[in-house]
Structure 1
């Protein structure tokens, strides 16, 4: 494939994926006693039996290095009022992201207050995926706020899910 064709396909792919509505979460872990976190919109459930999730992380991510060493990670599923949290953890950098952020320890993992849900996971496998690695996680524990509206990402903007009225 020529570079021009590849660039054109990447542009078309990027634009097409922008219309896919995705959930937003902050993935957290600890390394040498310090908290690390990054915002992702590429995560989903994988299996109910056993409970598993998939998270896609950039190969250059500092969090990925720490996660490999720790073998554990938390999925902080953000609620619709947490767009500023998502933007904060989306910036580049490591432990400095937690300098002005309130968080607490949940079974050894950094948990953000007020999240819609939290999953405590153990790394089951890492799978190659282009410029990312797919982290497969065994869910060790799960906690959710059932009445929280989710934070979503669509057309490069944060939003939320709104239930459609049923047709009569």
Structure 2
């Protein structure tokens, strides 16, 4: 899969179970009606119990100038999960979920179903708020184990 270029996203969730975020590339559109996205997350990821309890989330699609955010939430820096939220400007969507300023898109939704498949959980998330950045900065990609950008 390292030879497949993919968009870079930071998934955030905030609720009764706590606040957490994770960098992901395994984010895929499933259907337009209802607007649904699929997330594939390793069963061992610390976000799993928080995400399954909170159920609401935001998919922040990162632009080329946001590689530092991707690195923070991928655990590539020495920041704790809480400190990762201190280094960027955040806003809240209608469902209260955190969106990082400057992202290409903010896709807010709720988990409608999830399944265990091998080493991962596959989450189905129905979108209830979609915001797109009108300035059209280049996209941040991950390809051959390195961050790249696409205009």
TM-score (structure 1 length as normaliser): 0.80
Question: Is 1:151 aligned with 2:135?
Answer: no
CA contact (8 A) 2:139 2:150 kept: yes
C-alpha contact 2:110 2:125 (8 A) present in aligned 1: yes
How far residue 74 of structure 1 moved from its aligned partner, in angstroms, is 0.5
Higher helix share: 1
- Aligned equivalents of 2:121, 2:26: Cα separation in 1: 11
Say if 2:28 is the partner of 1:44. Answer: yes
Give yes or no for contact 2:17–2:50 (8 Å, CA) kept in 1: no
1:63 corresponds, among 33, 41, 47, to: 47
- After TM superposition, where is structure 1 displaced by more than 3 Å over at least 4 residues in a row? 31-34
Work out the number of aligned pairs and report it.
146
Match of 2:75 among 91, 103, 110: 91
Give the gaps of 5 or more residues in structure 2: none
Comparing 97-106 with 118-127, greater Cα deviation is found at 97-106
Counterpart residue number, 2:116: 128
Structure-2-length-normalised TM-score: 0.89
CA distance in 1, matches of 2:46, 2:83: 12
Unpaired runs of 5+ residues, structure 1, are 1-16, 163-168
Which of the two has higher C-alpha Rg? 1
Q: From 15, 18, 36, give the equivalent of 1:31.
A: 15
What's the Cα RMSD here?
1.7
Shift of 1:161: 2.2
Q: Which residue of 1 aligns with 2:106?
A: 118
